[in-house]
Amino acid sequence: MTNPIFVAIDTPYLEDALELTRRIKGQVGGVKLGLEFFCANGHHGVHEVQKLGLPIFLDLKLHDIPNTVAKAMQAINLLEPAIVTIHAAGGRAMMEDAKAAAGLHTKVVAVTVLTSLDNHDLNRVGVPDSPELQVARLAALAQEAGLDGIVCSGHEVKAAKTAWKDGFFVVPGLRPAGGTAADQKRTVTPRHARDDGASILVIGRPITKAESPDDAARAIMGTL
Ligand SMILES: O=C(O)c1cc(=O)[nH]c(=O)n1[C@@H]1O[C@H](COP(=O)(O)O)[C@@H](O)[C@H]1O
């Protein structure tokens, strides 16, 4: 089995990111660098991590008017990331323009409903539907816009995959059995997400905060 684990390297410190990536390199399929890392280290930081040889998932969650998002996408093309995130809530035109501006080898995926939100939180931001319904709605819009796939929780990935057979499904909010949810609200185990059709598994703290991150990654891989 190809290793589906992408570790969320959520740190602003380049040296820490490099050390962690070196340590887990043999146990994972790729690394995810987010806003925190990119704001602190920019293109240089991404290049340095890239030199270690793992695919890079650049999680910038772009969300703005179509022109601005397309220009931002062009500005990161030089980095040739394997995966980039945008927000589906930016609308169809924004997603279309983002995909058109992305490099040929970059998968552009749309964040649907953040895994840190539950039904109540979603209602508070003006969406009267359940996360399941909202994910289905935004996944259909992302597919129409020509994106490669979506980001959703393990609660919705099975239905999303049934509706979009060749979609690429990124699933974060994963916790090994008995793990601490922290700020995540829609969690499942890595195995559950994998069985339900996740293409890649985004895992942060259960690996990065473990006493031995490489052992933690190996143990999670062993459950898949
Ligand atoms: O786009 C993401 O990767 C993402 C979307 C989402 O809905 N929920 C979510 O947690 N993430 C990211 O996935 C990672 C989860 O980290 P942990 O909760 O530490 O495993 C973080 O880097 C989040 O930014």
Contact 49/21 with Cβ under 8 angstroms? Answer: yes
Q: Mean pLDDT, to the nearest integer, of 28-38?
A: 97
Give SS3 for 168.
strand
Quick one: pLDDT at residue 151? 98
User: Tens of pLDDT along 174-194?
Assistant: 999 999 999 999 999 999 999
Parallel, antiparallel or unpaired: strands 200-203 and 168-171: parallel
184 Cα nearest atom in ligand 1: 18
Domains for the chain: give ranges and CATH numbers. Answer: 5-223 (3.20.20.70)
CA distances from 164 to 3, 137, 143, 168, 215 (A): 22, 12, 8, 9, 35
Return the active site residues: 59, 61, 64
Q: Provide the pLDDT confidence category of residue 55 given band limits of 50, 70 and 90.
A: very high
Q: Is residue 71 pLDDT above 90, yes or no? A: yes
> Could you tell me the pTM of the whole model?
0.98
| Number of Cα atoms under 13 Å in the Cβ half of residue 152 | 32
Q: Provide the pLDDT confidence category of residue 94 given band limits of 50, 70 and 90.
A: very high
For helices 66-76 and 92-101, give the axis angle rounded to 10 degrees: 20
Question: Residues with Cβ within 6 A of ligand 1?
Answer: 8, 10, 34, 59, 85, 111, 114-115, 151, 172-173, 184, 202-205
What spacing in Å lies between the alpha carbon of 203 and ligand 1's midpoint? 7
Which of 118, 175, 202, 208 should be mutated for ligand 1, with most atoms under 8 A from CB?
Answer: 202
Give SS3 for 106.
coil
Quick one: pLDDT at residue 216? 97
Q: Is residue 1 pLDDT above 90, yes or no? A: no
